[in-house]
């Protein structure tokens, strides 16, 4: 017997790949999906998704009220069986004021770990969380922060964003891409974090000369963009690493698996994360050994010497040491990569996590 088709409403930013992955799953499952966004999309939207962009973006109290009124009117017309809001900040407040119930709020990290800690924003986040019928997050320490903000423990569910382990999987590296990134003999270290202060890509650049002293064939691939792009490129030039560090910009989503398969080591130097970063999970799913900083719940997912290494934040020496160790021990790196792949398949599988969410939707609607 075929399961009942649901009429789902989402309020989430249309320029977020994480929102797109989450919402697309339910449209592909045959549910009727209306996606409301306060920002325009970044790229094409699949035809089975109905996107409604509400303007202006609520950057001031008056525009916030106007956006809330427009979303409220839209929700009344669309009549979804529930509204799922991604991010407990502005989206959360607008979703709460829409009047749609049941209301699900997914906390992303900074909304409860940073904005929810001080001043007026703390009051607003507390209000959103207390109004929600259900809250999801992807890390135990986030769950604890949400409880401290006044939510009931029984109203919080741990749902990971998940990794598409079919797309992100081990495979033969693209010879052309490896040639482009450094040549067939190069040892490629890749970072996929945005070029913003919170991700501290500067520490990776500082570690590069130490790695190169022992592995002259090492090449560093730094993806993403952000406010520190020019600063980091200047630092690379000052260190004389222009021919060893390649800034490749934002990698198209469909090309990410190719870049990860071409690499030998994945690095994340983030100073803060909610749970396991999506790019780290994707690297592990592709069988890459990972070196990550001790932030968020990285120690929950990455065990030293078992499926990767964890190093202190802002510690270029420790970072370089672990990268060198992996380049010296390629067989061990492959073993760690296989262990990481198994963990993601078991505990952070996109299909499994979204199936859990679908069951929750049916529970609330029922």
Question: Tens digit of pLDDT for each residue in 22-79?
Answer: 999 999 999 999 999 999 998 888 889 999 999 867 778 888 889 999 999 999 999 9
In terms of pTM, does the model score above 0.95?
no
Start and end residues for every CATH 3.40.50.2000 domain found in the chain: 7-162+349-365, 175-347
Residues 6+ apart with CB under 8 A from 73: none
Please compute the mean of the pLDDT values over residues 118-144 and round it to a whole number.
92
Tokens for 313? Answer: 């934040």
Q: pLDDT for 287-329, tens place per residue? A: 999 999 999 889 999 999 999 999 999 999 999 999 999 999 9
In this structure, the strands spanning 32-37 and 50-53 are parallel
- Rounded Cα distance between 281 and 204, Å, is 19
Backbone φ/ψ region at 66: left (φ over 0), alpha (ψ -120 to 50), beta: alpha
State residue 59's pLDDT score: 74
Start-to-end CA span in the chain (Å): 17
Give me the architecture of the 175-347 domain, per CATH.
Answer: 3-Layer(aba) Sandwich (3.40)
State residue 116's pLDDT score: 64
- Rounded Cα distance between 338 and 323, Å, is 17
Burial 204-229 (b: 16+ CB within 10 A, else e): bbbbbebbbeebeebbbbbbbebebb
Residues 6+ apart with CB under 8 A from 241: 205, 208, 209, 212, 220
Tell me which CATH code domain 7-162+349-365 carries: 3.40.50.2000
Indicate the range of 54-58, 104-108, 144-148 predicted with least confidence: 54-58
Residue 209: pLDDT band (50, 70, 90) is very high
> Mean pLDDT in the chain?
94
In this structure, the strands spanning 156-158 and 7-11 are unpaired
- Rounded Cα distance between 81 and 99, Å, is 12
φ and ψ of 15, to 5 deg: -100, 15
Report angle CA 6, 11, 14 to the nearest 5 degrees: 110
- Rounded Cα distance between 52 and 223, Å, is 31
């Amino acid at each position: 017997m075929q399961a009942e088709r649901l009429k789902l409403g989402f309020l989430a930013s249309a320029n977020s790949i994480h929102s797109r992955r989450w919402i697309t799953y339910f449209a592909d499952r045959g549910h009727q999906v209306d996606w409301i966004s306060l920002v325009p999309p970044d790229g094409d939207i699949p035809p089975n998704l109905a996107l409604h962009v509400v303007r202006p973006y609520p950057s001031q109290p008056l525009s916030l009220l106007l956006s809330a009124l427009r979303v409220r009117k839209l929700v009344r017309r669309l009549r979804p069986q529930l509204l799922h809001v991604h991010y407990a900040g502005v989206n959360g407040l607008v979703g709460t004021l829409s009047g749609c119930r049941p209301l699900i709020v997914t906390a992303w990290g900074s909304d409860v770990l940073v904005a929810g800690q001080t001043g007026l924003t703390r009051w607003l986040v507390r209000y959103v969380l207390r109004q929600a019928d259900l809250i999801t997050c992807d890390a135990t320490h986030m769950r604890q922060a949400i409880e401290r903000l006044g939510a009931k423990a029984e109203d919080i569910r741990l749902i990971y964003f998940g990794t598409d382990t079919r797309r992100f999987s081990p495979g033969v590296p693209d010879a052309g891409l490896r040639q482009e990134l450094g040549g067939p003999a190069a040892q490629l270290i890749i970072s996929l974090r945005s070029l913003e202060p919170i991700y501290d890509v500067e520490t990776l650049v500082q570690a590069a000369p130490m790695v190169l002293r022992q592995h002259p064939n090492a090449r560093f691939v730094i993806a993403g963009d952000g406010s520190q792009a020019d600063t980091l490129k200047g630092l690379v030039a000052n260190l004389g690493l222009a021919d060893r560090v390649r800034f490749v910009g934002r990698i198209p989503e469909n090309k990410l698996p190719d870049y990860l398969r071409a690499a030998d080591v994945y690095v994340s130097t983030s100073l803060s994360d909610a749970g396991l970063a999506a790019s780290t999970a994707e690297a592990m799913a592709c069988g890459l050994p990972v070196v990550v900083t001790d932030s968020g719940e990285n120690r929950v997912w990455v065990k030293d010497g078992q499926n990767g290494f964890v190093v202190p934040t802002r510690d270029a020496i420790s970072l370089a040491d672990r990268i060198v160790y992996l380049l010296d021990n390629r067989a061990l790196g492959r073993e760690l990569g296989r262990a990481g792949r198994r963990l993601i398949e078991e505990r952070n599988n996109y299909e499994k996590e979204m199936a859990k969410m679908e069951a929750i939707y049916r529970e609330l609607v029922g």
